[in-house]
Amino acid sequence: MEDLAAWMGLALDEAHAALATGDVPVGSVVLDSTGTVLGRGRNRREADGDPLAHAEVLALREAAATRGHWNLEDATLVVTLEPCVMCAGAILAARVGRVVYGAWDEKAGAVGSVYDVIRDRRLPQRAAVVAGLRADECARLLSDFFAPRRG
């Protein structure tokens, strides 16, 4: 039985861990259909000096390595912030079956806010979406991170 709120808790744990490296606190987990964690990721752009080190991409890479193949069609990706265009493309490339996210990203979101890449019928792959899970908690973590930086 799946517990989406608990799964988001795992993603939030990853987001909190990103704070230690000065990275934007976004966390993600990939789970199989039984709820087993296949991959975890947190933003590591600052830590690794890698512009592609977004939480979702790192979680997808780990999930594919765990599985031994790239196709994650029966998996769920849970992430604290709505994926950006790059991450939405990676999610589709991995054929993830479902995306669950917390906070909306009104500036760069690609799963409903600015764009809706994940459900675009013009593309050959699509994923189911659950939006706004524990949204206030996810958004608060981000606003607390950015508040001192914005002065």
Handedness of CA 52, 86, 58, 12 (dihedral sign): positive
Q: Is position 84 annotated in a ligand binding site?
A: yes
User: Which of 2, 14, 46, 56 is the catalytic position?
Assistant: 56
- CA pair distance 87, 82, nearest whole angstrom: 9
Instruction: List, in sequence order, every residue forming a beta bridge with 47; answer none if it has no partner.
Output: none
- CA pair distance 79, 81, nearest whole angstrom: 6
Q: Is position 138 annotated in a ligand binding site?
A: no
Q: Answer yes or no: 73 catalytic.
A: no
In 43-95, which ranges are E strands?
Answer: 76-81
Q: Which residues are catalytic?
A: 56
Q: Which residues are annotated as a binding site for Zn(2+)?
A: 54, 84, 87
